Structure 1
Amino acid sequence: MITKRADMKTEIKEKMRGGEGVVNFTYYAPNDTEKNARMLAELSLPPGASIGRHKHENETEYFIFISGTGIADDNGTEKPVNPGDVMIIGDGGAHSVKNTGSVPLVFSAIIVTH
């Protein structure tokens, strides 16, 4: 199956998980089409925007950073993130991410249920 970018669903979420600003979503696939894949999406955070700290239960989330720069809370430790970096939050883990740069922070987000 190939889905063209123009056919992908988009969504804007404000103050996601208690964060600041907006998060722009482009869904690679609907979340009900792939077994154990709760989310397959590209997220874009404008400068200053963030996703608030939250926990994952019975699932693992992967962030694959594509462009921009930011700070990620990785289970209580803040770390810079750059293009090419990957963040993995396992079952029971908590995280957040903030765009600290001057251009959008863009990353793929994949959530796999256990």
Structure 2
Amino acid sequence: MVKRMEDMALEIRERMRGGKGSVQIRHIFSQDELTGKCRLFAQVTLEPGCSIGIHNHDREEEIYYIISGKATVDDNGNVQELRPGDAVITGNGAYHAIENTGTENLVLMAVILLFD
């Protein structure tokens, strides 16, 4: 199945999970379009200073893969700087948060895989 960018749902969330500013989520494929156990497959864009607040993942795991920009991630208390090509996986009850700490947009892929 081929899906064009203009056919992908675009969502803007303000103060996502208690974070700062707005988050742009381009839903590449919806959960209904996927056969596997995937809750989210999206490109996420955060402008400088914007963030997704602390949240946990029970019975699932979320992967962030950084495409461009610079971020600080809090992965269950382990605070690290992320750059393009870096990835982080959080799940099984752990928490995370991410913030754009650079001067350009932070663009990342976000995938949430379900355990059941």
Please indicate, yes or no, whether the TM-score normalized by the shorter chain is above 0.5: yes
Q: CA deviation at 1:109?
A: 0.2
Structure 1 residue 8 and structure 2 residue 8: aligned?
yes
Q: CA deviation at 1:39?
A: 0.3
- Which residue number in structure 1 is paired with residue 71 of structure 2? 70
Q: Quick one: distance in 2 between partners of 1:43 and 1:18?
A: 16
- Aligned positions of 1:33-52 closer than 5 A: 33-34=33-34, 35-52=36-53
Q: CA deviation at 1:90?
A: 2.0
Q: Quick one: distance in 2 between partners of 1:3 and 1:91?
A: 31
- 1:46-90 CA-to-partner distances (Å, cap 9, x unmatched) read 000000001000001000100000100011111000000011012
Q: TM-score, normalised by structure 2?
A: 0.96
DSSP-derived class of the 2:84 partner: coil
Which 4+ residue blocks in structure 1 deviate beyond 3 angstroms? none
Q: Quick one: distance in 2 between partners of 1:32 and 1:50?
A: 27
Q: TM-score, normalised by structure 1?
A: 0.97
- Aligned positions of 1:50-65 closer than 5 A: 50-65=51-66
Q: Quick one: distance in 2 between partners of 1:93 and 1:3?
A: 33
Q: In the alignment, residue 4 of structure 1 is paired with which amino acid?
A: R
DSSP-derived class of the 2:6 partner: helix
Q: In the alignment, residue 68 of structure 2 is paired with which amino acid?
A: S
Q: Quick one: distance in 1 between partners of 2:11 and 2:109?
A: 15
Q: Quick one: distance in 1 between partners of 2:90 and 2:2?
A: 28
Percent pairwise identity:
40
Q: Quick one: distance in 2 between partners of 1:103 and 1:72?
A: 16
- 1:79-104 CA-to-partner distances (Å, cap 9, x unmatched) read 00000001101211100000000111
**How many aligned positions are there?**
114
